[in-house]
Structure 1
Amino acid sequence: MTKEEIYEKANSVIGIGGMTGNERLSASGLMTLFDKAKKHDKYLARTILQALRFDEVSISRIIGYSIDALKYPNAWDFPNKNSNGIENQNSGTLEYSNLNEIGMGAPLSGMCKLKINESKAVLVSENCGGPAIWTRNGQKIAIPIWEKSFFGGKFQRIGLLDLEKQTLTKYKKKFRVLDLRSFNGNLIVGFDSPIHKMKKVEFDYENEPIEIVIGIK
């Protein structure tokens, strides 16, 4: 069954918002396909649950916390280039290089530069993770940045690049492994530790304590 067919079945269900998970699977006729996919094709299982409007935390709990079940892009697999899609003087592209796992089977880290207006390139960090996410107007981008603790462990902070202010703001709050998804007003929305005790992140970048603000001019 194609992705389009799955969504067609899911969209045909009336009153899906008031149903339990099993009721959604049953009413859509996707129960049998889901049971098979859960065992043999976790990506397909995820697609079915997304079509039936399960939230991300519920999806991970149902199909298991594993890398192959994660939505793309994620901390283990994301593109080398991430553009804001603007083609004038406000264009910006985040470019990664030297991406490597921080440990065997662990998320990726690498050098990250912001290319502005197809000319100026600014080093963000030599230890950036992903995926990074742009605001809708393409003037801010949130990036997971890897750092080492005093005892040698690794953690992430959120970095926020602002093209209008020409600044990089690094925040104090620490995370294990970020999986950033979107901006919602002043909130950076995503998940922390997506394959082990996942927690939803709603990070208010206007009010969170700041570690440092760096000019990128």
Structure 2
Amino acid sequence: MTKKEIYEKADSVIGIGGMTGNERLSESGLMDLFESVKKKDKYLARTILEALKFDELSIGRIVGFSIDSLKYPNPWAFPNESSNKLKKESKAILEYSNLNEIVMGGPLRGICKLKLNETVVVVISENCGGPAIWTRNGQKAAVPIWDKAFLSGPFQRIGLVDLTNQTLTKYKKKFKVLDLRSFSGNYIKAFDSPTNRIKSVEFDYINEPIEEVIEMK
């Protein structure tokens, strides 16, 4: 069954928001397919659950917290460029280079540069993770930045790129592996440790303690 056919079946279910997981699978006619693929094809199993509007935490608990079950993009696989999708002089692109695993089989890190107007280039960090996310107006971006403590090993902080103020704000709070998803008002929505004891994150970038603010001029 193709992805299009799966979504067509899911979209045909009326009142899906008030149903249990089993009811969604049963009413859509996708139960048998899901049962047959949930162990041998985690990507297809995830596609079925996403089509049926299961939330990310539920999907992880059902199909397992493994790299091959993660939604793309994720900390192990993300594009080399992330654009704010604006035009001309307002266009900004975060460009990744020299990406490599932080440890064998681990998430990626590399150099992240901010490119403005296709000419001005600012280095955000030489130890950035991904994926980066942008606000809807394209004026702010959140980027996971790797750091390392002497005893506890590598960890991540959130870096906030602000094009209006031309600043990079690094926050104090530490995370294991961030999977950034979206901005919602003053909150950055994400998951921490997406393959091991996943936690939902709502990060208030207005009120969270700040480690440092760097001017990008």
Q: Which range moves more in the overlay, 132-141 or 13-22?
A: 13-22
- Is 1:94–2:94 an aligned residue pair? yes
1:76-102 per-position Cα deviation (integer Å, ceiling 9, x unaligned): 000111111112211100001110001
Match of 1:157 in 2: 157
How far did residue 152 of structure 1 move?
5.4
How far did residue 138 of structure 1 move?
0.6
Provide the C-alpha distance between the structure 1 equivalents of 2:8 and 2:155, rounded to a whole number of angstroms.
41
Specify every segment of 5 or more residues in structure 2 that has no aligned partner in the other structure, as ranges: none
Q: Map residues 1-217 of structure 1 onto 2, 5 A cutoff.
A: 1-151=1-151, 153-217=153-217
* TM-score (norm. length: structure 2): 0.98
Q: Is the partner of 2:156 in helix, strand or coil?
A: strand
RMSD of equivalent CA atoms: 0.8
In structure 2, give the amino acid aligned to 1:15.
Answer: G
Q: Report runs of 4+ in structure 1 exceeding 3 Å deviation.
A: none
Provide the C-alpha distance between the structure 1 equivalents of 2:104 and 2:84, rounded to a whole number of angstroms.
31
Aligned length: 217
Q: Is the partner of 1:39 in helix, strand or coil?
A: coil
How far did residue 150 of structure 1 move?
2.4
Q: Is the partner of 2:24 in helix, strand or coil?
A: helix
Provide the C-alpha distance between the structure 1 equivalents of 2:140 and 2:116, rounded to a whole number of angstroms.
12
Specify every segment of 5 or more residues in structure 1 that has no aligned partner in the other structure, as ranges: none
User: Percent sequence identity over matched residues?
Assistant: 71
Provide the C-alpha distance between the structure 2 equivalents of 1:2 and 1:187, rounded to a whole number of angstroms.
35
